Amino acid sequence: MNIGSERRAVQNPFIRYAEEAGWTYLPPEEALRLRGGKDSPVLRKVLIEQLQRLNPGVVDSVTIAEEVASRVVRVRPNIEGNLEVWEYLKGLKTVFVEAERREHNVRLLDADHPEANTFHVTDEFRFFSGRTAIRADVVLLINGIPVIVVETKAATRPEGIAEAFDQIRRYHEQGPELMAEAQLFALTHLVKFFYGPTWNLSRKALFNWRDEQTGDFETLVKTFLAPRRVLRVLTDYILFVRKDGELTKAVLRPHQMRAVEKVIARSRDPEKRRGLVWHTQGSGKTYTMITVAKRLLEDPRFENPTVLMIVDRNELQQQLFRNLEAVGFGRVYVAKSKRDLRQLLRNDTRSLIVSMIHKFDDADAGLNTRSNIFVLVDEAHRSTGGDLGNYMMGALPNATFVGFTGTPIDRSAHGKGTFKVFGSDDPSGYLDKYSIRHSLRDGTTIPLHYQMAPNELVVDREAMEKEFWTVAELEGVADVEELNRVLDRAVTLKNMLKNQHRVDMIASFIAEHFQTFVAPMGYKGFLVAVDREACCLYKEALDRYLPVEMSQVVISRGHNNQPRLRRYYLSDSAEKEVRKAFRKPDEQPQILIVTEKLLTGYDAPILYCM
């Protein structure tokens, strides 16, 4: 199919559906006139008019509007500049108001009143950066700012989406000034519709658009481009994450957006105070929770609320705090003790509080009776079923409680369980569900492919049955944390797993396998051991078969301070550098030796094998 027929089959219908969804079409020549030239990424005339309209008393002259527009266009042509533009869109940037002699926030869009904004769609968007020229198929602009760049391909092209993705990559290289303005990109070949955040060009960040109304191309385009939805995505569902000294960008997946909207709606319902978000493991529950917390705290309808995020382990609390810090989540209180938590609640703290569930032990009933307290419980299936959950709910009798879990426990027949605690306000037992089946369908969860090890490396089945599986089954254990406790008691099994001869054989096998199948493809790997001591043993063995710098132990500090473990402890700054280097293909290490740390909450697309 040639370019002309591709345009007729995909690009033109896309524009027509965008118009029907509420966008005004600008022919390329008209868009170019409003831009003021091919080197301008924005509709400068529109932007200047909208800046004055949206900011009365702040941007009250063409001169000030021109100055703000120039600042928006002159951002750095990279992800840091893209963050600046997003901050303008979010209303976080300021302008000096001479009459008041102080700074005022300036808005580039109004997310609460879609009708106050201008929505334009144009095609054949030619942009010249001064070095090279690019031509985007379709560009969508709000108030003159390009916010979404779209590439369209014919359905007859089997590799159409991959080709479109390559073009988006090329735009980042050859037209970074345009991509510094745009927050999202979309790819479509009529049959499917994908979207992702600009400046994150990992295939893992490319999502299949699905809405409650599944349907044809027209439905996909219209639901994605609904003006109110686009405004919400731009202001609330994009996250800039600074980890290990590097800035990355994410956008929520459809199931995350859906869950956030349902939790916000539940939080506004005075008749219902419970909700369960049942999203399979690895589907982004942390970012969903963080976005819910931000929405609750920023929405004036909740009247300056208190939001609690509850976890049940110290490591999870630290991990959550690091994530909150990484996304630039303003003021966060971490409850240091039971007394500290009670003081925060008695003092009527209006902010985000992070606490472990056990700090509610023996809490007074009616500690805070306000109704605009919202409690988001992580790993809800193991946090609130017993006395601690009762203390928490008794201390906050009028709060709204929302549980997040990937593995709910059903003991409703006995008046207990995750569905009983959180799902009583919903006939199905949950507020929102995203199953493993849906996750695999969407590519959110990637299937694991197993390769059997040689027979001599396989664990003795009898020992596994006797010390581990039988005990786990008798105790009704399914949760990872509880399985770990069973494993800690399996002394004979653990000693066998750490036998020196066995460790050496496995290290030899891993070294050969890694060099033959993993390294040649440019990927890296994790070696996951049974405990921290085993990590050290594997490091020593692996060093006999691979260069020392190829592998690195990453373990948590514990109470066991034997010299063998101390030797491999890393300072926070050293661990940060290791995590950062592992993500890069041309830097060491290539293998991280871990037992629990980094198995969750660490994103490294280069990781291929465990």
Is pLDDT above 50 for 474? no
pLDDT digits (tens, 9 = 90+) for 246-267: 899 999 999 999 999 999 999 9
Mean pLDDT of 276-303: 91
Put the strands of the sheet holding 24-26 in their side by side order: 24-26, 119-128, 133-142, 145-152, 184-188, 193-197, 207-208
Q: Please give the class, per CATH, of domain 252-442.
A: alpha beta
Q: Is 428 exposed, middle or buried (0-12, 13-18, 19+ CB in 10 A)?
A: exposed
Check residue 67 and give its pLDDT: 94
Nearest to 277 by CA among 99, 166, 431, 151: 431
CATH architecture type of domain 498-609: 3-Layer(aba) Sandwich (3.40)
What DSSP state is assigned to residue 192? -
| Structure tokens that stand for 336 in this block | 């240091």
Which residue type does 56 have?
P
As a whole number of angstroms, the distance between CA 348 and CA 305 comes to 9
- 207 backbone dihedrals φ, ψ, rounded to 5°: -115, 145
> Which residues lie below 8 Å from residue 337, measured CB to CB, with a gap of 6+?
359
pLDDT digits (tens, 9 = 90+) for 358-392: 888 888 899 999 999 999 988 766 655 566 778 88
Q: Domains of the chain: which residue ranges?
A: 3-246, 252-442, 448-495, 498-609
Percent of the chain beyond pLDDT 70? 88
CA distances from 202 to 182, 205, 248, 398, 512 (A): 17, 5, 11, 43, 28
> Which residues lie below 8 Å from residue 485, measured CB to CB, with a gap of 6+?
none
Mean pLDDT of 141-160: 90
132 and 143 in contact (C-beta within 8 Å)? no
As a whole number of angstroms, the distance between CA 187 and CA 57 comes to 40
Beta bridge partners of 102: 97
Q: 559 in helix, strand or coil? A: coil
Mean pLDDT of 278-287: 86
pLDDT digits (tens, 9 = 90+) for 384-441: 556 677 888 899 999 999 988 887 765 444 345 667 778 778 888 889 998 888 878 8
Scan for tokens 């085993």, then name that residue: 534
CATH of domain 3-246: 3.90.1570.50
What DSSP state is assigned to residue 44? H
As a whole number of angstroms, the distance between CA 219 and CA 138 comes to 18
- 361 backbone dihedrals φ, ψ, rounded to 5°: -55, 125
Query: Bigger pLDDT: 500 or 565?
Result: 500
What DSSP state is assigned to residue 406? S
What is the C-alpha R_g of the chain?
27
Q: Which of 46-55, 309-318, 321-330, 552-561 has the highest mean pLDDT?
A: 46-55
Query: CA 467, 470, 474: angle at the middle one, nearest 5?
Result: 125
pLDDT digits (tens, 9 = 90+) for 55-81: 998 998 999 999 999 999 999 999 999
What is the pTM for the complete model shown? 0.84
Is pLDDT above 60 for 473? no
Please tell me the total number of residues recorded for the chain in this structure. Answer: 610
CA atoms within 13 A on the CB side of 169: 11
Which residue type does 143 have?
N
As a whole number of angstroms, the distance between CA 191 and CA 9 comes to 11
Q: Decide if 252-442 and 498-609 have a common fold.
A: yes
Q: Is 139 exposed, middle or buried (0-12, 13-18, 19+ CB in 10 A)?
A: buried
Nearest to 13 by CA among 283, 176, 220: 220
> Which residues lie below 8 Å from residue 306, measured CB to CB, with a gap of 6+?
345, 348, 349, 350, 351, 353, 368, 370, 372, 373, 374
